[in-house]
Each structure stands twice: as C-alpha cells, then as structure tokens.
Amino acid sequence: MTSNPPLIEIDQVTFFHSGREVAAEPALRGLSLRIEAGEFLALIGANGSGKTTLARHLNALLVPTRGNVRVLGMDTRERRNWPEIRTAVGMVFQSPEDQLVSTTVEDDTAFAAENAGLPPDEIRRRVDEALRAVEMWEERKRPPHQLSAGQMQRVALAGVLAMRPRCIVFDETTAMLDPAGRRNVMEMMQRLNRAGMTIIYITHYMQEALLARRVVVLSRGQVALDGLPREIFSDPRRLAGLGLELPPLTALAEGLQEFLPGVPVGALTPEELAEAIPAPGEAQRARHLPEAPPHPAREAVIEVGNLAHIYMKDTPLAHTALEDVTLTAGRGAVHGLIGATGSGKSTLLQHFNGLLRPQSGSVRVAGRLLNDPNVTVRQMVQVVGLVFQNPEAQFVEQYIGDEIAYGPRPLLEKPALRERVQWAMRLVGLDFEQYKDRLTYSLSGGERRKVALASVLALQPQILVLDEPTAGLDPLSRREVLRHLQEFQRGGMTLVLSSHQMGDLARLTERVTVLHEGRDVRTGTAAEIFSEGQQLHDWGLEAPIAVQVADRLRARGWPVPRGAITTEGLVTAMAGLAAKEAA
C-alpha cells in the first residue's frame, strides 16, 4: 500500500446481482476508476448502465464479485473495514422517504451517528451543525414524513453530514424535486465541495452534469468516457450512442453557431451565451414582436369546477391540498400541469380517474360526473390511464410481461394480448425477449419507470394522465417517450402531463395550468406561461433554458418572439433575425 492512497480506487470490478438468471450479464464488467479527494464528479449513463450498482460499491453496500474496491486504502470486502468505510463515504438516494426512520427531524439526523456509537454531546453538536448547514434547523422538531420531498432530501443529507464523511454520493437526488429544490441541492453540493468534500453525483440531467469538474460516463457496466464536461459534451453523436444527449444550453449554442459564429459552444450559463451575441442594429430593435398563432378551439373532455380537497379532513392533522381549483382540458390536447412540490398536482390528477372523489366542487371526465358514486374506478380505468409519480407502488405482478399484460388481459385473446404487450414495451424502449421474464423488483430505477408506463399504455386509454412521466429516464429514453406521446396526441388521445421538466412541457403542451399552494393561479398557452421567467421563478419553478437565453437576447435588443420557448424555436427565430440583420 502507498503512504497516500487515493480516496477511492476501483480495480477491475465485475459484479453480478445475486438472484439474477445465471446467463444474465454482469451489472459491472471489469470496471476501473480512481477518485481523488476533493473531486466533483458527475456519473452519467443510460438506464441500467450500472450507476447505482457502482455507487453501492463505494460504501460497501455491495462488494465486487471479482476485482477490488478500496476506500482510503481499505478493502471493502473486509467486514471489519465497513464502519470506517461507511463513515468516509455517505449516500443520499433518490427516494428520501426510504431513508427517514425516526419521529422527528432531529432524531433522524442523529440516527447514523448514534449507530456509530458516538458520545451524546458530540452527536448533539454534529446534528445541530448539519441541520443548520441544510437550513432545516428551524424544522428540527417536526415529523419527517410531513415534509416536502425537497425538505426530506435535505434531512437525509443532514444525517449523512453528521457522520462527517470525506465523500458523499448523490444518486439521482434531484429527480423528484421541483426546480427550486433542484437548484438548492446543486448549490449545496457546490458549497460542500468548496469546503473540501468529495462529491459524486449521479444524474440524468445533462445540464447538471455540466456543472461538475469531471464527468464519467458508464455504458453496460464499463467506463465509456471520462473527462472534462467540455470534452464529454463535444460530440452529440457519440453521446447518443451512449443513451445521452447534449445539455440543452450546449444544443442551443450549437444551433446558433451555424449562423452566429461567435457563439461559445462551451458556455456554462445562459448569461455567458447571450453576452457572446452582439447587439443588433437599430432597424432590428424597432421591429415588432409577432404574436403567436392561436390554438384550435377544443371540446372539453376534463372539467374541474371549484374543486377542494383536504387530507385527513376533520382531524387535527387536516391539510388542505386543493382549494377552489377550476380547469378545463380539451379533447385531443396536451395539457400541462406545473407547480412547486406540494402545490397539489398529484392530488388533482388522482381525481381524474376517481381514485379521489370531490369533497366539494365537481369533476367531469369524458362525460362522466365523478361526484356520482355509481361511477366506479373500474369503469374509469378503461377511459383514463394514470401513471403515478412512484411507479413501484403500482406493481401487482412478479414478472414484467405479466405486469404489462395485467390491464388488457380481461379484454383481449391470447395472441392479441401478446402483441399488445410487445407494442407497449416497444414504445418505452424495453426489449420484449430480454425483459418479459425479468422480475419486477430486479430492475434499475429507470427500467421500473418504463414498465409502469408500458402497463398503462397497454390499455390504450382515451385519456392519458402522467405524473412526472420522464423522471428517472435517461435522455434518449425520455426523448423517445415524449415522441410517442406526441404521436398519441396526433392519433386523438388527450394527455395531461404534470412535470418539473419545463423544457419538456414547453415542447409538448398546448395549454398549461400553474398550481400554487393548492390553487390554480394561471392557465394559458405554453408560450404565455413559459415566457414569464420571473413569475415562474417566484412560484418555485423556472423558465426553460431557451427562454432564459431569449430573455437576455431581448434585453440586448433582439426582437425574439415570445413563442420561442424551445431550443428549436429559438434557433429558428434567431436564424430569421440574423438573416435580416445581415441583409
């Protein structure tokens, strides 16, 4: 052993998940990687590429089938090293609720430190410090399960911080967070890193990976690329081959560079990009902004009137989730629903297939009044397909093929059923032969999400309601799913999508409703809603990257139309303006 071993050394590691079919591929194959103290590393890669499996090797939750992992020189295979290894490397997972175990925030934060047998005074000191660091000290007496997702995430992080680790691994920690929550976690990671902590960050958001100092790309259990963000994100075709894509800002810069040669493709922020584009001449500044064309009038298929919902009504724990919500979605439209964590989106969506019934107000879907108790959920599932935020909770079968066949089974003969399952799996990018006999519990996070989507699509409902449909999907899968949703709409399906991915919704939706603290504070066209950057920010949301750049270009005198809310839209608009400028 050298006198100064690297923080983490992964040497030729191969790993087979136990319980998997013997012929199955290993999740990691001969993977080697060295991580030095103080690094800020983003770990990215397609669904199932081995990111989570690798992460769990870093604090001995898993040990290699072959090869070695050493943390500060200690072999993770040796059980006597585990306490020290787990003190050195902490983990924050995607679903914080799985990590929270105690009845108050404070106790929860102390949990790991207590297990490690630290003296009570020391624990108290560390817990206070950790809760202040994540800005949850004020909430220390509250029960963790009452917190928002973002707050739970911070408490989970505080528990890890109280162990004073050298390194923290964040496994898709931001996937379920609203834009404000995501910004918060990103800032926290940067702050910790500046204070000397090693950060390993697993994400499907390329824009976030751009902020790391080193990016490692996994593919089928191996390191495919390892380098600076600028290098990794320089070749779109190579990225696509790995299930990835350019960060939106980089894609925008590439598009603009075609006709504005000065645009820096390596820009890291919207400011940096916009400032590299020279201000236009006088004639351009005087130009009027064209209006966005109106959308077609549509017949209402979902009508919500003055809906209110109080959880645990008439108890001391009563919590108002919806208050006087009114909304109409047109037949054949894609209707977006946005709002910060806890704004009531999921509660509203569960009224669309009768899982929740109006406590006051009314809900009418496809001609059926859901206030009427004779309208059953069973009737509604044929009409409305609902995919929840948390797909695992929905699984009823052991094998993936059966899970997807579950809905249409009573409706179809065997050959047609098999065809339907194949069709649905194709839509979400799951290979039928490879996955049909896999166990539902033995999947990566993204693979589970795909199974949940496929099982609802297999019913071919008239109305598809999706709560965070793309969370956990790798960029290419996300793109594919979004493309199919667009096709469904063209085929006449009505879609209601709730998401924190403003860029995706800007591309897909016709109209958008904003929920804020249980109320519908605004409904408008996607262009109207998404072009209001400051307003979105005040609601805990954010504008799509294209809008953030467009705003700054307008400030510099470019008459960019408000309808330019996507990367493609902004590139097209700027191409037109640049041509006039040159003429």
Ligand X SMILES: Nc1ncnc2c1ncn2[C@@H]1O[C@H](COP(=O)(O)OP(=O)(O)OP(=O)(O)O)[C@@H](O)[C@H]1O
Give me the residues that bind ligand X (CB under 6 A), please: 17, 19-20, 27, 45, 47-53, 442-447, 474
Q: Which does 27 bind (CB under 5 to 8 A by kind): Mg ion, ligand X, none?
A: ligand X
Q: Per-residue contact track with Mg ion, 209 to 248, x per CB under 5 A?
A: ----------------------------------------
Q: Whose Cβ is closer to ligand X: residue 20's or residue 368's?
A: 20
Question: In the complex, what is the shortest distance from the CB of residue 445 to Mg ion, in angstroms, rounded to a whole number?
Answer: 4
Q: Whose Cβ is closer to ligand X: residue 53's or residue 173's?
A: 53
Q: Whose Cβ is closer to Mg ion: residue 171's or residue 520's?
A: 171
What is the strand order of the sheet 511-516 is part of? 384-387, 463-467, 494-498, 334-338, 511-516, 519-525
Q: Alpha-carbon distance 172 to 180, whole Å?
A: 16
Question: In the complex, what is the shortest distance from the CB of residue 345 to ligand X, in angstroms, rounded to a whole number?
Answer: 23
Helix boundaries (H) for 225-298: 229-232, 236-241, 248-257, 270-275, 282-286
Q: Whose Cβ is closer to ligand X: residue 311's or residue 395's?
A: 395
Question: In the complex, what is the shortest distance from the CB of residue 249 to ligand X, in angstroms, rounded to a whole number?
Answer: 22
Q: Which does 48 bind (CB under 5 to 8 A by kind): ligand X, Mg ion, none?
A: ligand X
Q: Whose Cβ is closer to Mg ion: residue 179's or residue 445's?
A: 445
**Candidate ranges 393-401, 445-453, 509-517, 521-529; the one touching Mg ion (CB under 5 A):** 445-453
Q: Which does 47 bind (CB under 5 to 8 A by kind): Mg ion, ligand X, none?
A: ligand X
Question: In the complex, what is the shortest distance from the CB of residue 473 to Mg ion, in angstroms, rounded to a whole number?
Answer: 11
- Mapped onto helix, strand or coil, the DSSP state of residue 51 is helix
- Mapped onto helix, strand or coil, the DSSP state of residue 312 is coil
Q: Alpha-carbon distance 339 to 155, whole Å?
A: 22
Q: Which of 159, 243, 255, 445 binds Mg ion (CB under 5 A)?
A: 445
Backbone angles phi, psi at 462, to 5 degrees: -70, -35
**Candidate ranges 143-151, 305-313, 444-452, 456-464; the one touching Mg ion (CB under 5 A):** 444-452
Residue 354 Cα to chain centre, angstroms: 26
Backbone angles phi, psi at 201, to 5 degrees: -125, 115
Residue 276 Cα to chain centre, angstroms: 30
Q: How large is the C-alpha radius of gyration of the chain?
A: 25
Residue 157 structure tokens: 């992080």
Question: In the complex, what is the shortest distance from the CB of residue 229 to Mg ion, in angstroms, rounded to a whole number?
Answer: 21
C-alpha to C-alpha distances, 39 to 68, 85, 184, 190, 543, nearest whole angstrom: 21, 18, 20, 11, 30
Q: Which does 49 bind (CB under 5 to 8 A by kind): Mg ion, ligand X, none?
A: ligand X
Q: Whose Cβ is closer to Mg ion: residue 203's or residue 341's?
A: 203
Q: Which does 20 bind (CB under 5 to 8 A by kind): ligand X, Mg ion, none?
A: ligand X
Q: Whose Cβ is closer to ligand X: residue 342's or residue 429's?
A: 429
Q: Alpha-carbon distance 239 to 244, whole Å?
A: 5
Q: Whose Cβ is closer to ligand X: residue 175's or residue 301's?
A: 175
The secondary element (H helix, E strand) that includes residue 325 is: strand 319-330
Question: In the complex, what is the shortest distance from the CB of residue 400 to ligand X, in angstroms, rounded to a whole number?
Answer: 10
Question: Can you name the residues that pair with 513 across neighbouring β-strands?
Answer: 337, 523
**Cβ count near 368 (within 10 Å):** 17
The β-bridge relationship of strands 300-311 and 360-365 is antiparallel
Residue 292 carries which DSSP code?
A: P
Residue 78 Cα to chain centre, angstroms: 36
Q: Whose Cβ is closer to ligand X: residue 26's or residue 358's?
A: 26
Q: Which does 53 bind (CB under 5 to 8 A by kind): Mg ion, ligand X, none?
A: ligand X
Comparing every residue's Cβ against Mg ion, the nearest one is 52
Closest-CA residue to 581 (of 289, 285, 281, 288): 281
**Strands (E) located in 366-510:** 368-369, 384-387, 463-467, 494-498
Window 43 to 72, contacts with Mg ion (CB under 5 A) = 52
Region at 217 (left for phi over 0; alpha for psi -120 to 50; beta for the rest): beta
Q: Whose Cβ is closer to Mg ion: residue 317's or residue 393's?
A: 393
Site size toward Mg ion (CB under 5 A) is 2
Q: Which does 403 bind (CB under 5 to 8 A by kind): ligand X, Mg ion, none?
A: none
Q: Which does 533 bind (CB under 5 to 8 A by kind): Mg ion, ligand X, none?
A: none
Question: In the complex, what is the shortest distance from the CB of residue 472 to ligand X, in angstroms, rounded to a whole number?
Answer: 6
Q: Which does 443 bind (CB under 5 to 8 A by kind): Mg ion, ligand X, none?
A: ligand X
The secondary element (H helix, E strand) that includes residue 533 is: helix 533-538
Question: In the complex, what is the shortest distance from the CB of residue 449 to ligand X, in angstroms, rounded to a whole number?
Answer: 8
Amino acid, res. 198: T
Comparing every residue's Cβ against ligand X, the nearest one is 446
Question: In the complex, what is the shortest distance from the CB of residue 552 to ligand X, in angstroms, rounded to a whole number?
Answer: 33
Where along the sequence are the contacts to Mg ion (CB under 5 A)?
52, 445
